[in-house]
Amino acid sequence: MKRRRFLAQTMTAAAACLLLPSLLRADDAELEGDELADGAAAPEALKRSVFPLPPKDVDVIGEIQIIQARPEDTLLDIGRRYGVGFEAMRMANPGVDIWMPGEDTEIVIPTRFILPPGPRRGLVVNLPEMRIYFYPEPKPGQPRVVETYAVSIGRMDWNTPIGTHRVTNRIENPAWFPPESVRARHAAEGRTLPRRIDPGPDNPLGQYAIGLNVPGYFIHGTNRPYGIGMRATHGCIRMYPEDIESLVYRLPIGTEVRIINQPYKAGWFAGELLVQAYPVLDEHQGQEVGTYASAVRAVAARLEDRPGRIDYERLKAVVNTADGLPRSVSRQSEIRPEMVSSG
């Protein structure tokens, strides 16, 4: 019952962002131009989410962690502490109860990532991965970093738009105007949903929204953080409250936002080629993007940078498992101790 209520609340909170462009407003707090607020970033969100940007011939950041659950933990609590979403935690821990993992149960934290293909600039959203990568411009004399955050994306009938877009504005304390379809559903269930929901704990948009140059689509927070890492929105991209707070004031207007559909990522680390596979989005089942041939092409693209000997049986196993954990597909490779840490 608890799980069913959680899922129902999460889906109800999907804010039908397609109707927002003329309605979402900032209540006297809209940010203008590229002005950034000093000290606005949330330290803990940045600490868990920022990695040194590796050189061009290295594509992997972070490491898989293994921890022991505390008595009061749920799998979702653990995921949020480490900036990981619902599906990623579930896939990395098959057989572990989401609500009661159990004291001292070993939990895998999937915090090792292959950087998405393409330029390392701006903001990249990989839909099957349900994750954002942000490449901020460094200050003079500072090294480059990459930040990565878990997100929720649009449901099958409300797809998040693939393509290259731009940040157009940043909005603080947005109001939500529920569309008629959502209000009708609430009415059918005997509940009344007002035409406007002011900023506050009942607002499914959270405290911040980042506008894109695609009418009706935003990157925003949420008042239901347990839904992060699910297909639970009406097309918008939803972040943990602490994550969007750490990002919103540092994301300049005009920033490139590249939304991609890449279920198979390949990248080099320490002389080995790793592949990270995710389940294909439902609406792309049966299409070329979700085939083994697509994974082979992702590998072939990385082999253009340097030669390598690939174990294609391993690649098939990674594709068939599709649990989001990076695995080597190089021949005669072994898992080294430094690839896994405990915490």
Half-sphere exposure of 14 (CA within 13 A, CB side): 32
Q: Same domain for 155 and 171?
A: yes
- pLDDT at position 333 is 52
- pLDDT at position 154 is 61
The answer to whether 284 is a known catalytic residue is: no
What global pTM score does this model have?
0.81
Half-sphere exposure of 9 (CA within 13 A, CB side): 15
- pLDDT at position 218 is 81
CB-CB contact of 64 with 112 (8 Å): yes
- pLDDT at position 105 is 95
- pLDDT at position 335 is 46
Q: Same domain for 97 and 126?
A: no
Catalytic residue (choose from 17, 165, 220, 234)? 220
Catalytic residue (choose from 17, 165, 234, 236)? 236
H/E stretch holding 180 reads helix 180-188
Q: Same domain for 130 and 46?
A: yes
CB-CB contact of 179 with 160 (8 Å): no
- pLDDT at position 340 is 43
Q: Same domain for 98 and 129?
A: no
Q: Same domain for 243 and 272?
A: no
- pLDDT at position 25 is 34
Beta bridge partners of 342: 66
Closest CA to 135 of 157, 150, 152, 118: 118
- pLDDT at position 282 is 57
- pLDDT at position 227 is 85
- pLDDT at position 123 is 96
Q: Same domain for 214 and 312?
A: no
Q: Same domain for 129 and 13?
A: yes
Q: Same domain for 95 and 187?
A: no
38 within domain boundaries: yes
Q: What angle is formed at CA 215 by the lines to CA 210 and CA 219, rounded to 5 degrees?
A: 25
Count how many domains the chain has: 3
- pLDDT at position 125 is 94
271 within domain boundaries: yes
- pLDDT at position 153 is 80
Q: Same domain for 202 and 128?
A: yes
Half-sphere exposure of 330 (CA within 13 A, CB side): 20
What's 103's domain CATH number? 3.10.350.10
Q: Same domain for 192 and 68?
A: no
Q: Same domain for 160 and 28?
A: yes
Residue-level pLDDT, tens digit, the chain, 343 residues: 434 333 333 333 333 443 333 333 333 233 333 333 333 444 676 788 999 999 999 999 999 999 999 999 999 999 999 999 999 999 999 999 999 999 999 999 999 999 999 999 999 999 999 999 999 999 999 999 999 999 988 654 446 678 899 999 888 998 877 767 667 877 888 888 888 888 888 787 889 989 888 876 788 888 888 889 875 555 578 899 999 999 998 999 999 999 999 999 999 999 999 999 999 875 555 566 668 899 999 999 999 988 899 999 999 999 999 999 999 999 875 444 344 444 4
H/E stretch holding 320 reads helix 312-321
Domain hosting residue 207, numbered range: 2-53+113-260
What's 17's domain CATH number? 2.40.440.10
The answer to whether 17 is a known catalytic residue is: no
Taking only Cα atoms into account, the Rg of the chain, rounded to an integer number of angstroms, comes to 20
Alpha carbon distances (Å) from 238 to 132, 144, 187, 320: 10, 25, 25, 28
